[in-house]
Homo-oligomer: A and B are copies of this chain.
Amino acid sequence: MARKRLYRSKKKLGQIPGTVVYTGERSKEKLSLEAFDFDKDSFTEKQLATIEDCFDYKNTNTVSWVNLNGLNHVEAIENLGKHYDIHHLVLEDIVNIAQRPKVDDHQTYLFVVLKMLYYNNNNQLVSEQVSFILGKNYVFTFQEAEGDVFDPIRDRIRNAKGRIRNMQADYLLYTLIDAIVDHYFSIIEILGDKIEDLETDVFTNKTSDDLSIQIQDLKREVLRVRRAVFPLRDIINKIEKNDTALINSKTIHYFKDVYDHLTQVSENIELHREVIGGLMGMYLTSISNKMNEVMKVLTIMASIFIPLTFIAGVYGMNFAYIPELQYKYAYFVFWGVMVVLFLILLYYFKRKKWL
């Protein structure tokens, strides 16, 4: 089985800084642009054909959300960047899918990168990068491919559920980040189940598979989740503390809530790490216990039959004169002695609690 790499290479060596180069593997992905534009009363949703179609959202009074799927379409992203005055280093970060989660405040817009986590159909943990640009009245999201955890939010915009239609772009950013963070809880839950399964395996293990490889792999998985989640707390904290005009003071409360959730997720991850850390020790003791059992069987068998065999050997000797041999009931006495010896040794091992 090909083990999952822990990292991905950042970029080509010697590449010019600020060059917008897609570093992922989905280079055949179709560009998809999905736009929501809404205020308290009205709402439009459409698929945009070209990147130029979303240039109009720059100066409107409504809140706009444009979701772009397909980071391989770098020219489209560069065009968007030019029109909305996005720094070229930001554009480079958007298409470089090995970014560490971070937030950058560029005065006129806020740039946030984070990791969406989910288990794919092969039950492998996938970490997909999602970038956000929050402007005065718009949010752009950038994803590698279709499929995300934002459907409930789309639904809320369509049906004006909750506060979303009454709030500004900063609240939209909050709900999008919150959706991703919420999903972390299900990841944590799956990891918890895997740990419990592995614990059960360790205790009942009768197969000869080496469980330590599974323990190590699970530890790695937890480390990968940790890498995605931990920087996020600093990010939310920065947003919360930030005095940028892009985040209203009313929305701060909501970001604090996300922060609390992240603290909870982080605590659970640390807990998982501690438990996995203990698993290796448990496994080692369970192996040692099993060896003990094997050794006891051997010792009991050998200790009982080796003396008996010796005595049998004695009476197989060909000395000219062995008095016992002539005694008529000697054979039966022999068996009697054997049985008594056997019982004594049995009792000895019983008392030692080896049986």
Contacts and interface: CB of A to CB of B under 8 A. Distances in A.
A223 B331 contact: no
Nearest to A5: B192
A282 B151 contact: no
A60 to B, nearest CB: 25
Given A271-B7, A334-B319, A288 B289 contact: no
Contacts of A285: 210-212, 280, 283-284, 287
A173 to B, nearest CB: 13
A151 B296 CA distance: 56
Copies in the complex: 5
B292 A292 contact: no
A311 to B, nearest CB: 8
Interface string A131-155: 0000000000000000001011100
Contact of A354 (B227, B278, B294): B294
A10 B264 CA distance: 9
Nearest to A268: B7
Interface residues of A, number: 124
Contacts of A16: 156, 161-162
Interface string A191-204: 01000100100010
Contacts of A188: 7
Contacts of A310: 305, 308-309, 312
B271 A6 contact: yes
Contact of A274 (B102, B183, B223): B223
B292 A301 contact: no
Nearest to A281: B280
A354 B293 CA distance: 11
Interface string A38-82: 000000000000000000000000000000000000000000000
A3 to B, nearest CB: 6
Nearest to A330: B319
B331 A321 contact: yes
Given A17-B254, A87-B253, A294-B296, 13 more contacts: A7-B264, A10-B185, A13-B183, A100-B260, A208-B293, A215-B282, A287-B292, A291-B291, A291-B295, A298-B299, A298-B303, A299-B301, A301-B307
